[in-house]
Structure 1
Amino acid sequence: MSKTVRPVESVWNYPRPPRLEPTSSRLRVIWESKDGGEKRTVAETTKGYRVLETSHPPTYYFPPSSIDMSLLRPSTARRTMCEWKGQATYHDLVLPSDNSTIAARGRAWSYPEPVPEFKSIKDYLCFYASPQSKVGTWRCYVDDDEVTAQEGDFYGSWVTPEITGGERGFKGGPGTMGW
């Protein structure tokens, strides 16, 4: 499969406050059980959005219609407040085989009542690239590029080959929270 070539982007050229922009890139989240017994598409779209913010790789938001919502449940694990987007609610991934065992807790989030500037992503879901699950994993893709997770576990951004942090790197890793 050929890789899509996208122009190089430095996260240090992204705006603050962040910008929301539609993307026609093919976004996918695919669940794979550790025992190899299950592989399932959790979400797939070419009608997503990405949020660009200084020092962060992009976060990608999927419309609810592009997500297998039978695999997700509202999470009681946490709620967070983004100064730019509003209050986030989280979602747990349940195992496709029994639809009740939580496979990944709080690894997707959405904004049910975003601030007006981000109303386009109301109820859209964003997924951490790292599921933190003992029973399986998911793989996240932008076009044909498998993403890597932004360092740390706070922001949930997706790193693809064309996204660079230069010498300063990305916010999220040890020692960067005060940036």
Structure 2
Amino acid sequence: MKAIWNNTVIAESNNTIEVEGNQYFPPEAINSEFFQLSDKHTVCSWKGRASYFHLQVGEEKNGDAAWFYPHPKAEAEKIKNYVAFWNGVEVKE
């Protein structure tokens, strides 16, 4: 699987985990140069508290376009620190 934004591959892995229709990429699969930690957090009733990343490719910024669970609830432990995308990021094989 590849995550692509602004014509750039920002994450790539053969070991993603699908949860609720989203592909979660292992932390080592992201190209960290394009990720900036955000202050945003949301809460999922069964996964726990999500943290977010802004994406920046060249001069283009996509705010809060990636999320992950640094301390998930027990039911979501398998996606701990795995990263998922939305907001215009294309995820495909």
Instruction: Normalising by structure 2, report the TM-score.
Output: 0.89
Residue 72 (1) aligns with residue 35 (2): yes
Q: Determine if contact 1:45/1:66 at 8 Å carries over to the other structure.
A: yes
Which structure is larger by alpha-carbon Rg, 1 or 2?
1
More strand by share: 2
**Regions of 4+ moved over 3 Å:** none
Paired residues of 1:92 and 1:107 also in contact (CA < 8 A): yes
CA root-mean-square deviation:
1.5
Give the direction of change, closer, same or farther, for the CA distance of 1:139–1:51 in structure 2 (3 Å limit): closer
Deviation at 1:31, TM superposition (A): 2.3
Q: What percentage of aligned pairs have identical amino acids?
A: 31
Unaligned stretches of 5+ residues in structure 1: 1-26, 33-38, 53-57, 132-137, 144-179
Structure 2 contact 23–91 (Cα < 8 Å) conserved: no
Within a 5 Å distance, the mapping from 1:15-30 to structure 2 comes to 27-30=1-4
Match of 2:9 in 1: 41
> Once the two structures are superposed, what CA deviation does each residue of 1:35-61 show, in whole Å capped at 9, x if it has no partner?
xxxx32101111010113xxxxx1110
Which of structures 1 and 2 has the larger relative contact order (alpha carbons within 8 angstroms, sep 6+)? 2
The alignment partner of 1:81 has SS state of strand
User: Is the CA contact 1:92–1:102 (under 8 Å) kept in the aligned structure 2?
Assistant: no
Shift of 1:116: 1.1
Q: Indicate the SS of the match to 1:65.
A: helix
- Kindly provide the amino acid, as one letter, of the partner of residue 17 in structure 2: Y
Unpaired stretches in structure 2, ≥5 consecutive residues: none
Question: Aligned residue pairs: how many?
Answer: 93
